[in-house]
């Protein structure tokens, strides 16, 4: 029996121009933060949704400064980013009521970094039962909520913060 998994929304990505520019630096140059799912910005960093999430509500805290090494961040930038990770957790708790979180970063490709030239923290909300047999049987992850719906749910909470 032939098996099919339909994901028609992927065609936009497949047909898109694959730029070699930094995805995070390019995101900051866009005119419409909502279109690229930026939830929050301040002078040192921003919070953006992962468009290829591990789970619904998967956020990333990213320094504005293009830097590949954690130790190259200045102290005020590092503190600001940690505060954004904490803020993101607080907001995700209010908006989505997760039961836990995976928080982390991958430095260099060998450690699993998909974007290795611009460091960023992943903030991934987790719920009991949010994993199932799909990744095991078909190497496919099921995301329960559309990214735009999640963005619209989180954005008012981030709007209440001072940037």
| pLDDT tier, 149 (very low <50, low <70, confident <90, very high otherwise) | confident
Domain that holds residue 102: 33-159
Residue range 36-57: average pLDDT? 92
> Is 122 annotated as catalytic?
no
Task: Give the model's pLDDT for residue 54.
Answer: 79
User: Tens digit of pLDDT for each residue in 91-105?
Assistant: 999 999 999 999 999
Q: How many domains would you assign to the chain? A: 1
pTM for the model stands at 0.78
Catalytic site residue from 58, 120, 122, 146: 120
- How crowded is the C-beta side of 8, counted as CA atoms within 13 Å? 0
100 phi/psi in degrees, rounded to 5: -170, 180
Per the model's pLDDT, the better-predicted residue between 14 and 103 turns out to be 103
**Average pLDDT for residues 19-37, to the nearest whole number?**
89
- Residue range 123-146, pLDDT digits in tens: 999 988 776 444 444 455 555 667
Give the model's confidence band at 2: pLDDT under 50 very low, under 70 low, under 90 confident, else very high.
Answer: low
Distance CA 88, CA 150 (A): 13
The answer as to whether 6 is a domain residue is no
Q: What is the CATH number of the domain that holds 112?
A: 3.30.428.10
Domain annotation covers residue 112:
yes
Q: Could you report the per-residue pLDDT of 54-89, keeping only the tens digit for each? A: 788 999 999 999 999 999 999 999 999 999 999 999
Residue 37 pLDDT greater than 90, yes or no: yes
Contacts of 140 (CB under 8 A, 6+ apart): 5, 134
Domain annotation covers residue 13: no
Residue 87: CB atoms within 10 A of its CB come to 19
Kindly state whether residue 9 falls inside one of the protein's structural domains: no
Structure tokens at 2: 């032939």
In a domain, 26, yes or no: no
Beta carbons of 62 and 23 less than 8 angstroms apart: no
The answer to the question of residue 73 being in a domain is yes
pLDDT at 145: 66
Structural domain includes residue 128: yes
Sequence-distant (6+) residues with CB within 8 A of 78 are 70
| pLDDT interval class at 112 (50, 70, 90) | confident
Domain assignment present for residue 2? The answer is: no
């Amino acid at each position: 029996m032939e098996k099919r998994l339909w994901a028609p929304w992927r065609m936009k990505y497949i047909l898109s121009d694959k730029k070699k520019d930094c995805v995070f630096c390019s995101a900051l140059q866009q005119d419409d933060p909502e279109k690229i799912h930026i939830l929050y910005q301040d002078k040192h960093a921003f919070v953006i949704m992962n468009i290829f999430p591990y789970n619904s509500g998967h956020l990333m805290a990213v320094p504005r400064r293009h830097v590949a090494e954690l130790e190259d961040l200045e102290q005020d930038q590092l503190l600001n980013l940690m505060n954004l990770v904490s803020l993101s957790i607080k907001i995700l708790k209010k908006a989505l009521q997760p039961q836990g979180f995976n928080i982390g970063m991958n430095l260099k490709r060998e450690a699993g970094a998909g974007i290795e030239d611009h460091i960023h923290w992943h903030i991934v909300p987790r719920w009991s039962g949010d994993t199932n047999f799909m990744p095991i049987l078909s190497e496919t992850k099921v995301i329960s909520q559309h990214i735009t719906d999640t963005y619209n749910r989180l954005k008012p909470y981030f709007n209440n913060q001072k940037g």
